[in-house]
Structure 1
Amino acid sequence: MSSATGAETGPAGASANGAAAASATGKPASTAPRRRSGGTYPRYVAGKLAGAAVSLFAVLVTSFFLFRLIPGDPVKFMTGGRPVSAEQLAAYRSDFGLDLPMWQQFTDYCLKALTGDLGTSYQFHAPVIDKISEALPNTLLLTGTAFVLYTALGAFLGTRSAWRHGGPGDRFHTGLALTLYSIPSFWLGLLLIIVLSVGVDPIPGLFPTGGMESGREEGFAHVLDVAHHLVLPVVTLVAVEYGQTLLVTRSALLDEMGSDYLTTARAKGLRDDLVRRRHAVPNALLPTVTLVFVNLGRTVAGVILVETVFSWPGLGGLFYQALSVPDLPLVQGLFFVFAAAVILMNTLADLLYPMLDPRVGR
Structure 2
Amino acid sequence: MTTASTPADVVRADEARTTDGAPRTGSSLGYLRHAAGKLGGALVSLFAVLVTSFFLFRIIPGDPVKAMTHGVPTSAEQLATLRRQFGLDLPLWQQFTDYCAKALSGDLGTSFQFRAPVGDLIAEKLPATLLLTGVAVVIYSALGLWLGTRSAWRHGGLGDKLNTGIALTLWSVPSFWLGLLLIIVFSVGIGPVPGLFPTGGMESGTGETGFAYVLDVAHHLVLPVVTLVAVGYAQTLLVMRSSLLDEMGGDYLTTARAKGLRDDDVRRRHAVPNALLPTVTMIFINLGHVAAGSILVETVFSWPGLGGLFYQALSVPDLPLVQGLFVVFAGAMILMNLIADLLYPLLDPRVGR
Instruction: State the TM-score bracket (shorter-chain normalisation).
Output: over 0.9
Secondary structure of 2:351's counterpart equals coil
Matches within 5 A, 1:32-47: 33-34=24-25, 37-47=27-37
Give the Å deviation of 1:278.
0.4
Partner of residue 338, structure 1? 329
Could you report, residue by residue, the CA deviation over 1:322-355 in whole angstroms, capped at 9, with x for unpaired residues?
A: 0000000000000000000000000000000001
Deviation string 1:202-225 (CA, Å, 9 cap, x unpaired) is: 101110111111100222211111
CA, structure 1 residues 174+17, in 2 after alignment: closer, same or farther (shift >3 Å)? Answer: closer
2:39 aligned residue = 49
**Distance in 2 (alpha carbons) for counterparts of 1:308 and 1:53:** 32
Q: Deviations over 1:125-184 (max 9, x none)?
A: 000000000000000000000011001111001111111111111111111011101101
The equivalent position to 2:110 in structure 1, one of 100, 120, 124, is 120
Letter of the structure 1 residue corresponding to residue 259 of structure 2: K
Equivalent in the alignment of 1:177: 167
Specify the alignment match of 2:236 in structure 1.
Answer: 245
TM-score by length of 2: 0.95
What's the counterpart of residue 25 of structure 1?
none
Tell me the equivalent position of 2:96: 106
Give 3-state SS (helix, strand or coil) of 1:34's partner: coil
Separation in 2 of the partners of 1:246 and 1:305? Answer: 23
Query: CA separation in 1, counterparts of 2:31 and 2:227?
Result: 41
Aligned partner of 1:268 in structure 2 is: 259
The counterpart of 1:259, out of the listed 247, 250, 254, is 250
Letter in 1 for 2:281: T
Partners of 2:307 and 2:74 in 1: how far apart?
32
Paired residue type of 1:198: V
Percent of aligned pairs sharing the same letter = 76
- 1:12 positional shift: 7.3
Equivalent AA in structure 2 for residue 78 of structure 1: M
Match of 2:134? 144
**CA positional deviation for 1:288:** 0.5
Deviations 1:66-123 (A, max 9, x none): 0000111111122242121111001000111011000000010000001110000011
Closer/same/farther in 2, CA of residues 202 and 107 from structure 1, 3 Å limit: same
- Structure 2 residue aligned with 1:314: 305
What is the distance in 1 between the residues matched to 2:53 and 2:59? 11
How far apart, in 2, do the equivalents of 1:342 and 1:335 lie? Answer: 11
* Alignment of 1:301 onto 2:292: yes
Q: Distance in 2 between matches of 1:148 and 1:100?
A: 46
Gaps of 5+ in 1: 1-5, 22-28
Cα separation, partners in 2 of 1:114 and 1:201, compared to 1, 3 Å: same
The ranges of structure 1 where at least 4 consecutive aligned residues each deviate by more than 3 angstroms after the TM superposition are 6-10, 12-18
1:270 is paired with a residue of what secondary structure?
A: coil
Count of aligned pairs: 346
Q: Residues of 2 paired with 1:134 and 1:38: CA distance?
A: 41
Aligned CA distance change for structure 1 residues 311 and 278 (closer, same or farther; 3 Å): same
2:31 counterpart letter in structure 1: Y
Q: Tell me whether 1:153 sits opposite 2:143 in the alignment.
A: yes
Structure 2: segments with no counterpart, 5+ residues:
1-5
Which is further off, 130-139 or 221-230? Answer: 221-230
Alignment map for 1:7-26 (pairs within 5 Å) = 10-11=10-11, 14=14
C-alpha distance in 2 between matches for 1:70 and 1:322: 12
- The amino acid that maps onto 1:180 is L
Shift of 1:14: 3.9
Task: Output the CA distance in 2 between the equivalents of 1:14 and 1:294.
Answer: 36
Correspondence for 2:280 among 270, 289, 296: 289
Alignment partner of 1:134 out of 107, 124, 131: 124
C-alpha change, 1:92 and 1:12, in structure 2 (3 Å) is closer
Aligned partner (choices 77, 80, 99) of residue 90 of structure 1: 80
TM (norm. structure 1) is 0.92
The answer for the alignment partner of 2:189 in structure 1 is 199
